Structure 1
Amino acid sequence: MTDDDSEVQDFRKAVAGALEGLWPSAVNAEQPDVVKLAEVAAQQGWYQLGEAAAADYLVAAVRELGRRACPLPLADAYVAAMLLPEHAAAIGDGELRPVVIDGAGADSVVDDAGTATHGVLVDQTAGTVSLHPLTSAVELTGLAAPTLRKITLGDAVHSRALAGEDAERMVAVLRLATAARAIAAAGRAHELAVQHALTRHQFGKAIGAFGAVQQRVASCQIEVSASEALIDEAVGAMTVDRPDAGIAAALAARHARTAAQRIMAGAQHTLGAVGFFDEHEAAWLFRRVHTDLSHLGSGALDDRRRDGVADRLLAGESLPDFHLGERAETFRGEVRALLARFRRPDPDPAAGVLGEYDVEALRDEMARQSLFALNWPAEHGGKEVSIEEQVVLHEEMKYAGGPVDRAMSATMLIGHSLLRHGTPAQKSQFLPLLHAGRMAFCLGYSEPEAGSDLASLRTRAVRDGDDWVIDGQKLWTTRGNTASHVWLAVRTDPDAQPRHAGITIFLVPMDTPGITVQNHTALSGEISCTVFYDGVRVPDSCRVGELHGGWRVITDALTAERVVMGGVAATLRRHFDEAVGELRARVAEGGAVDALDRDRIAWGAARLQAARALVLRATRIMGGSASGVEARIAGPMAAVLSGDLAEELGRICLDVLGPSAALAGRYEAAIRLAPMYVIGGGTNDIQRGIIARGLGLPRE
């Protein structure tokens, strides 16, 4: 189970309720009642989670502790019960309250909220684990609150051999718990900042109406949601004891290391002077976040919480796949087999060019299997699949290099809209083409004065008998030079209010007289077009949906965006995997990857995995019946993170591979394409504004 499951959520609420009268907020970190805290933990069964191997419940509890800046070492108790099962009962009763020390030293600095009675000394070099009573503890003043303590251990009262898999599991649990606590503390600070942005007035308005504040708040929300999604995925892997649970936890820890700092800094900037004083929770959350980050950082005194992501990847491990259920994973295998069947040998592996596919044969087979008609009605030859299977198909096709990209875009972006809004004649004409993967279309949306603000478009269609006459101009029409039809948004009621109420959609042949196409070469090398419409006469039969009802048609077409976002992440994963492959080859030949490049790799891997987790969460939310804040902002958050990631990964490839990555091939092409992921479909700045308003901030 993950933190989304009802039983785990009920447990988390119980932890919050128990803490409410004891440690209600981070301010209590200044003078904690550690005796009472330990008693409550024992009474509530929090120390028993290790004996039950309930990693999902552990993380749920740690998240509530983090929101209150409380470093009660529950993860240490969990690990101690796992390593020393003979003492699990005493740990569960709170009679023995351990803190785990990874190393051979008897004197250690610990972050235990002042509750520990024993130390569990893990010596991975000697392959032993031993239990020691604390003989002394000295508080150390500094950043942490409660203070760190320097403890001295007595003689061992129990010792046993340490199995390699136990050491791996120990590290994963401690990393994940520290990451979850840091993100929870930072997330609480972010909540306080959002509340402050709604109530604090400057210059005659709430500060949340200022664009700079909205951008910052939205960015912090993305960091919180991405980290939580990544932690949840790691918890899921750990709960079912998957082989990739270790790297999943390592990725969550590496992401938290940067994200928590960004969230906390953003919250402090929004709170301003209010959050700078000890009367406010934020000051104590700040201490907790940065103390936890010191445990996750590369300069930590022990290795138990450091991520080690780059070492794992360079040693041959891969980014974990998200297991989407037996049915979806079976389908994934079928899609991979299909691609392998139609793949031709790579003509030039040294150039880093993807192997070519027999595209026509692949297209025909996909049409035969109705893979371009997912979830269409049976009468139109549809194939019923789950949301997860849709994600799988798009991910695998994108990872393969998009051999039938245009066909998939057509069916996703206009297929479902035609099914819902098209006339019988339109369905009869276009659905067979879409089903066969042979609909060559382009989108006629953007204009000189209507990019992200599509509702302000000016291209007009005026009724003339049974026809419409269209005049205007569209920009950045990708594939307009090779399309047979354009999915065209025009204004049919110039006086309609609100603005989007007067828009209508037409599906127009590109060879209609009056259409002029002007080609432009984009930074990416693609051809994108300016298309002029001068007295273009089309019959009313080209209209899709109700007159002035185009906004609903557009919205339906954009529902496919949730699957498209997964394709962006899959494309980036292919680039990243191959960059790591080149570095592995360099190491195998005796070369080195320095510490800075290793950290770049680790961050890129964590960011990519976080984007994939957030896209999957958004896909499930948007594909279901969810409502509320999360449903409103899930899609924009995933889109922003994916777009930003494209630029970030491109820079990482250039940094770690050097000038060879700037030569003609995959990496330089990817970095040239990256800005389009930030611009296309509504710029990331606009998307962050949508996120901010979804959180309740007012319009600027």
Structure 2
Amino acid sequence: MTAITPLVPMTPDEVSSFAQSVRGTLTRHWPGPTAAPEADLLKLWQSAAEQGWLELGAAGALAAAAAAVRELGRAACPLPLMDAFVATRLLAHDEALVDGIGRGEVRVIASVGDGTEQRLRHLDAARQATHLLTFPATGGTAVLRPVTRADETAGLAVPAWSTVTPGEPTATVEIDASTADEAVVLLRLQLAVRALAAAERSHEMAVEHATQRRQFGKVIGSFGAVQQRTATCQIDVGAGNLLIADAVRALEHGLPDRLLAAEIAVEHARAAAPRVQFGAHHTLAAIGYFEEHDAPWLFRRVHADTARLRTLSRAAGDVADTLVEGTGSLPTGDLGETGEAFRTEVRALLDAHADLLGRIEMGEDAELTRAVAEHGWLGFTWPAAAGGRSASLAEQVVLNEEAVYRRAPITKALGAVTLLGDSILKHGTPEQQERFLPLIRQGQLAFCLGYSEPEAGSDLASLRTHAVRDGDSWVINGQKLWTSGGHESEWVWLAVRTDPDATPRHAGITVFLVPMDTPGIVVQQHRALSGEIACTVFYDDVRVPDSLRVGEVNGGWKVITDALAGERIAMGNIAAALHRQLDDLLALVREDPGASVGPRGSHARALLTELAVGVQATRALVAAAIRATAEDTGARLAAPMAGVLGGELAERFGEAVLDILGPAAALSASVPGVPGGGAFEYGLRLSIMYVVGGGTNDIQRGLIARSLGLPR
């Protein structure tokens, strides 16, 4: 068996610098996608050797190789760089051969096979290659043979694929099953990275076009349909790049679930890249349809690469096969040493109260809330002067994730910290902090949010509930809608208009923390599809002392937007809830995989793959939003993208489970032995809330589009 060099992690700066050098080389030899029909791939191959690209496999520099493949994809160039990467690793025992690959004298293309094939089809760069490396996906003998003939097969791919006739073996090596599996994954990852990068480049051109092209007297980027499509493409691209980065990191560090992480990234790109490419063409319209433009050549590259994934199948099967036939779950996120150490503590506490966990419709449990408070975990990110211990954001995220995943009935106590406590700490008076922060730390602040109104849902800046100053008090009149839990709350975090003439509109808003038993407040209950009680709350000459105003007069928008950091943490709740549902589903199908999801390649397994990839993509976007918040680099894109993807995945999840499990998944928790304990039925009913609560997904897509530079 050959010895494989360990992969070597690289710093982001090192990877960025290498990618920049690759772009420079491409500029000279493959200046862009329109070069695909005529550029000299052999010269680029030779230049790649001179630049050291073909030595990356021997060095174990996977991140650099992936960065180079991404640049190749953006140029619609099929240089088989990862083939050389894999070949140098599998043939590492033959120093002369590895040296020849590095110098570009032995130009290798690689594929799955047993070494006896007379012809292999649909191969890139075969006319420039000197050798073909094949290896069985299950392990065995890897065989290197010369390319004796390469017949181009005209079609979608440009440069064209070839059918290769190999000669007699010139080198062989025995590889074990795990080495073969990783080699297949790397070749698949190359196609996925290249396809997604090509689609991303088309998307970038479409965004630029949408900011310049005028139709009907307007820039087309101002049209709602264009904004919605552009945002959807950005979500696909953003999630895909994060999943690829996670996969490379997992492979570099040799994590146990590294191959699954890579397959999830591959599967996402396989489905997303064509969607993004078509979306870009819809925006570019006729200008992107003719071959003077880059888009047609990128279109060819996207679809050629995703089609070739079918020729490189893993013995372990796809994502669903790996999950169903294994015992694990999705690859774990890494929140650092401190965060993961704290996760162990949280799990220990929850295990000690296991009898209180697992409730489908989570309320609040006083015993568990008290236990969490006694551990000092409510408000523990606050400074010591406020009763905290300056815990990290990672620890806060872990606490929320574990509570939601285990269905621990403490979500309202946690929400009080992130949605109210952090803002009171930043904007509240010393008296307010002294009054409310201890209640929040003890899990005893029963609150609701008074934001939405009949004319102000997603457009909160249009709110009309108003407050007029009267001495040391304010008199509030108006109406709020969809106030979740208003019937059992003691306080409402209330946004009102205090300057009706303010410009812009959001400049005249102020926030108050109002007792719900104040005279003039009338609560009307409504039961939602999920079973949750939300309320219409009427405010009729409600008098509130100025001491309950949080922040400056007319400065409420800052108070509200600063709470977005808390909302981003809470956003992880969607991902954690869906992760739990996925694991519940896996537990069920593992009991009888043949009956539940059928054989490999079945429709049910395809659905399961779709769900698993979607959950992991949502988790990746949530993590990116949290990192941006922690690093104060802004989260204008990642946060709404996570919200949109997670909300729509919740809807898709509910539908797919009905498709997989049938009517049994539509039974409630009250039915003995119901699959998932009723979580699937409840999750489907709850899913609508995820796409309308806190601003509809249509509005969130508009925010994403404007973050990309599209006009209002």
Deviation string for 1:211-245 (max 9, x for gaps)?
Answer: 11011111101110000001110010001111111
* Counterpart-to-counterpart distance in 2, 1:433 and 1:127: 65
Unaligned runs of 5+ in 2: 1-7, 669-677
Match of 2:671 in 1: none
Aligned residue identity for 2:516: M
* Counterpart-to-counterpart distance in 2, 1:312 and 1:345: 32
Q: Secondary structure at the match of 2:201?
A: helix
* Counterpart-to-counterpart distance in 2, 1:591 and 1:6: 44
1:250-265 equivalences under 5 Å are 250-265=263-278
Q: Which moved more, 1:211-220 or 1:383-392?
A: 383-392
Aligned residue identity for 2:79: L
Change (3 A) 1:590 1:411: closer
Change (3 A) 1:358 1:403: closer
Aligned residue identity for 1:652: A
* Counterpart-to-counterpart distance in 2, 1:358 and 1:695: 40
Match of 1:576 in 2: 582
* Counterpart-to-counterpart distance in 2, 1:280 and 1:11: 28
Taking only aligned residues, the RMSD between alpha carbons, in angstroms, comes to 1.9
Change (3 A) 1:355 1:217: closer
1:592 shift after superposition = 2.9
1:384 shift after superposition = 1.9
Match of 1:81 in 2: 88
Q: Is this contact kept in 2: 1:102–1:304, CA < 8 A? A: no
Q: Is this contact kept in 1: 2:139–2:179, CA < 8 A? A: no
Q: Secondary structure at the match of 1:490?
A: strand
Say whether 1:168 aligns with 2:174: no
Aligned residue identity for 1:135: T
Change (3 A) 1:329 1:101: same
Deviation string for 1:412-447 (max 9, x for gaps)?
Answer: 001011111112221111111001111100000000
Match of 1:6 in 2: 13
1:607 shift after superposition = 1.1
Q: Is this contact kept in 2: 1:197–1:207, CA < 8 A? A: yes
* Counterpart-to-counterpart distance in 1, 2:371 and 2:261: 36
1:555 shift after superposition = 1.1
Match of 2:353 in 1: 342
* Counterpart-to-counterpart distance in 2, 1:590 and 1:646: 21
* Counterpart-to-counterpart distance in 2, 1:469 and 1:75: 69
1:523 to 510, 525, 529: 529
Say whether 1:71 aligns with 2:75: no
Match of 1:656 in 2: 660
Q: Secondary structure at the match of 2:261?
A: helix
Deviation string for 1:28-68 (max 9, x for gaps)?
Answer: 11112022111111001111111111111111000000000
1:361 to 367, 383, 390: 367
1:30 to 22, 32, 37: 37
2:544 to 534, 538, 541: 538
* Counterpart-to-counterpart distance in 2, 1:306 and 1:166: 13
2:155 to 121, 137, 142: 142
Q: Is this contact kept in 2: 1:103–1:302, CA < 8 A? A: no
Match of 2:445 in 1: 439
* Counterpart-to-counterpart distance in 2, 1:136 and 1:172: 27
Say whether 1:108 aligns with 2:120: yes
Aligned residue identity for 1:108: L
Aligned residue identity for 1:59: A
Deviation string for 1:553-574 (max 9, x for gaps)?
Answer: 1111222111111111001100
Change (3 A) 1:4 1:203: farther
Q: Is this contact kept in 1: 2:362–2:407, CA < 8 A? A: no
Deviation string for 1:299-321 (max 9, x for gaps)?
Answer: x2342599611110111232100
* Counterpart-to-counterpart distance in 2, 1:505 and 1:358: 26
Match of 1:406 in 2: 412
Change (3 A) 1:481 1:315: same
Deviation string for 1:47-95 (max 9, x for gaps)?
Answer: 1111111111111000000000111111111111111111322211111
Q: Is this contact kept in 1: 2:140–2:174, CA < 8 A? A: yes
Q: Is this contact kept in 2: 1:586–1:592, CA < 8 A? A: no
Q: Secondary structure at the match of 1:560?
A: helix
Aligned residue identity for 1:89: D
Say whether 1:667 aligns with 2:671: no
Q: Secondary structure at the match of 2:57?
A: coil
Q: Secondary structure at the match of 2:592?
A: helix
1:248 to 255, 261, 264: 261
Say whether 1:40 aligns with 2:47: yes
Change (3 A) 1:358 1:449: closer
Say whether 1:329 aligns with 2:347: no
Aligned residue identity for 1:62: V
1:375 shift after superposition = 1.8
1:369 shift after superposition = 2.4
Q: Secondary structure at the match of 2:637?
A: helix
> TM-score, normalising length from structure 1?
0.95
* Counterpart-to-counterpart distance in 2, 1:481 and 1:21: 68
* Counterpart-to-counterpart distance in 1, 2:541 and 2:363: 42
Match of 1:349 in 2: none
Aligned residue identity for 1:111: L
Q: Secondary structure at the match of 2:681?
A: helix
Deviation string for 1:98-141 (max 9, x for gaps)?
Answer: 11121232311243334321011113467111110111111110
Aligned residue identity for 2:524: Q
Q: Secondary structure at the match of 2:537?
A: strand
* Counterpart-to-counterpart distance in 2, 1:22 and 1:118: 23
Match of 2:325 in 1: 315
Change (3 A) 1:289 1:676: same
Q: Is this contact kept in 2: 1:617–1:634, CA < 8 A? A: yes
Aligned residue identity for 2:325: A
Change (3 A) 1:219 1:125: closer
Change (3 A) 1:377 1:602: same
1:367 shift after superposition = 1.3
Unaligned runs of 5+ in 1: 347-351
Say whether 1:690 aligns with 2:703: yes
Q: Secondary structure at the match of 1:119?
A: strand
1:326 shift after superposition = 1.7
1:531 shift after superposition = 0.3
Change (3 A) 1:252 1:503: same
Deviation string for 1:379-404 (max 9, x for gaps)?
Answer: 12102222222221111111011420
Q: Is this contact kept in 2: 1:27–1:280, CA < 8 A? A: yes
Q: Is this contact kept in 2: 1:503–1:548, CA < 8 A? A: yes
1:2 shift after superposition = 7.5
Aligned residue identity for 2:639: G
Aligned residue identity for 2:337: E
Q: Secondary structure at the match of 2:474?
A: strand
Change (3 A) 1:125 1:198: closer
Q: Is this contact kept in 2: 1:56–1:235, CA < 8 A? A: yes
Q: Is this contact kept in 2: 1:342–1:358, CA < 8 A? A: no
Aligned residue identity for 1:518: Q
* Counterpart-to-counterpart distance in 1, 2:482 and 2:368: 29
Q: Is this contact kept in 2: 1:344–1:358, CA < 8 A? A: no
* Counterpart-to-counterpart distance in 2, 1:636 and 1:366: 30
Aligned residue identity for 1:612: R
* Counterpart-to-counterpart distance in 1, 2:578 and 2:664: 18
Q: Which moved more, 1:450-459 or 1:353-362?
A: 353-362
Deviation string for 1:496-515 (max 9, x for gaps)?
Answer: 11111111111110001110
* Counterpart-to-counterpart distance in 1, 2:424 and 2:42: 66
Alignment size in residue pairs: 688
Say whether 1:602 aligns with 2:609: yes
* Counterpart-to-counterpart distance in 2, 1:84 and 1:188: 34
Change (3 A) 1:126 1:465: closer
* Counterpart-to-counterpart distance in 2, 1:79 and 1:179: 16
Q: Is this contact kept in 2: 1:171–1:305, CA < 8 A? A: no
Q: Secondary structure at the match of 2:568?
A: helix
**What percent of counterpart residues are identical?**
52
